[in-house]
Structure 1
Amino acid sequence: MLLLPGKEFHGPFAACQREAFHLEVKDTYETPEESAPFGRFLAGEPDDYSWLEGWLDRVRAMTARGVRVRRARVVTVPHTDYTNFALEVAIQCNSAAGEEIRYLPRNRIDPSLLTTDDWWLMDDETVAFTVFESTGRFVGGAVTTDPRIAAYIREVRDRVWEHAVPLADYVPQRTR
């Protein structure tokens, strides 16, 4: 595996031709760039989402050139405050930028059928496991094109996506 730190991790997105798929399996993320927006969310204050513009611009650019961007989140119910925050961001920003997002309540899938780490799958061949420091700071991606790993990740993706609920249908079901 090759570690692509920080902004180098953007390379696989730029090279992506058909699809970028992200699986998220954690109920809480503590990235420094989200701490202030998350605090505003908890306080019921408005957010201009300017902190997310770099990602939204990347999604818009990818979808404009025909790349499908999908995200599946495996979540615990009742939701953590962070899951509710991520739902709000998905509704306000991610979906409008072109991401297809689905939610899968954790109790609806056998945990042995998931991975324990988050990852991106690019064009069915490149897997990038997201790497975080213990502080929550995003470090980058551990990238591989090993065909056996990619095949397993495709199986997980297909299984999760099939059972996950589209954002528009999940929102009315959400619970704190």
Structure 2
Amino acid sequence: MADYRDEFSAVQRSAVHLEMRDSYIRTDPGFIAWQGGRLDEALERYGEWRELMQQVTGRGVAVRRARIVSEPVSDYIRYEYDLTEQLNLAGGEEVRWLPRRRASDIALPGNDFWLFDDRTVRFNHFTGDGGSAGPEVVEEPAVVKLCSTAFETVWSRAVPHEDYEV
């Protein structure tokens, strides 16, 4: 959370996040709690994120998150879906979902990313089993443009959370 706090404290206008995996850290205690029917416990684990987003959006920064998902969705995506309203939306984020079959003709970067103020990209690298392999921060204009174009194309096709059904 500390590096995200630093990055979000510097954001002035916008932060967009593109997620493209069907599964992340399957050993995450929040995911395990959700699997056991304990949604409240899963939500508690991310209270710090919701508070950070409330602070960021409260100062006028637009935060948008798009998720490209296979259908039918994986159990991990269903978990993210179940948390979205009380976590992401409650934090002030806008969230949309794009079925993977509608993304085939979009030029996408190879990794999930955050794009801050259309100038800095933070790629999130993952291991094959969904564990974090660390971030990579890039400010190269061609990379920023690829990520911006990819995100905006996905966003324009994606379904708002309140209209998407898993």
Percent identity over paired residues:
36
Aligned to 2:12: 17
Aligned to 1:61: 55
Rounded to whole Å, the distance in 1 between the matches of 2:58 and 2:15 is 13
Structure with larger RCO (C-alpha < 8 A, sep 6+)? 1
Name the SS for the 1:60 alignment partner. Answer: helix
Residues 140/16 of structure 1: CA separation in 2 closer, same or farther (3 Å cut): farther
**Alignment equivalent of 2:163, drawn from 147, 158, 169:** 169
State the 1:140 CA deviation: 4.0
Within 5 Å, give how 1:75-90 maps onto structure 2: 75-90=69-84
Aligned to 2:100: 106
Name the SS for the 2:125 alignment partner. Answer: strand
Residues 91/112 of structure 1: CA separation in 2 closer, same or farther (3 Å cut): same
RMSD of aligned residue pairs (Cα, Å): 1.9
Rounded to whole Å, the distance in 1 between the matches of 2:70 and 2:130 is 19
Rounded to whole Å, the distance in 2 between the matches of 1:83 and 1:143 is 26
Name the SS for the 1:160 alignment partner. Answer: helix
Equivalent residues of 2:122, 2:137 under 8 A apart: yes
Name the SS for the 1:130 alignment partner. Answer: strand
Equivalent residues of 2:119, 2:141 under 8 A apart: yes
Rounded to whole Å, the distance in 2 between the matches of 1:36 and 1:44 is 12
Rounded to whole Å, the distance in 1 between the matches of 2:131 and 2:84 is 21
State the 1:9 CA deviation: 4.2
Stretch of structure 1 that moved more, 57-66 or 9-18: 9-18
Q: C-alpha deviations, 1:101-135, integer Å up to 9, x for none?
A: 00000011116522221000000111110133556
Stretch of structure 1 that moved more, 61-70 or 35-44: 35-44
What is the letter of the counterpart of residue 20 of structure 2? V
Question: Residue 42 in 1 paired to residue 35 in 2?
Answer: yes
Name the SS for the 1:97 alignment partner. Answer: coil
Q: C-alpha deviations, 1:71-100, integer Å up to 9, x for none?
A: 000000001000000001102221111010
State the 1:31 CA deviation: 6.1
Residues 28/164 of structure 1: CA separation in 2 closer, same or farther (3 Å cut): same
Stretch of structure 1 that moved more, 13-22 or 103-112: 103-112
Aligned to 1:128: 122
Q: Structure 2 length as normaliser, TM-score?
A: 0.90
Structure 1 consecutive aligned stretches of length 4 or more whose deviation exceeds 6 Å = none
Q: Structure 1 length as normaliser, TM-score?
A: 0.85
What is the letter of the counterpart of residue 96 of structure 1? A
How many residue pairs get aligned? The number is 165
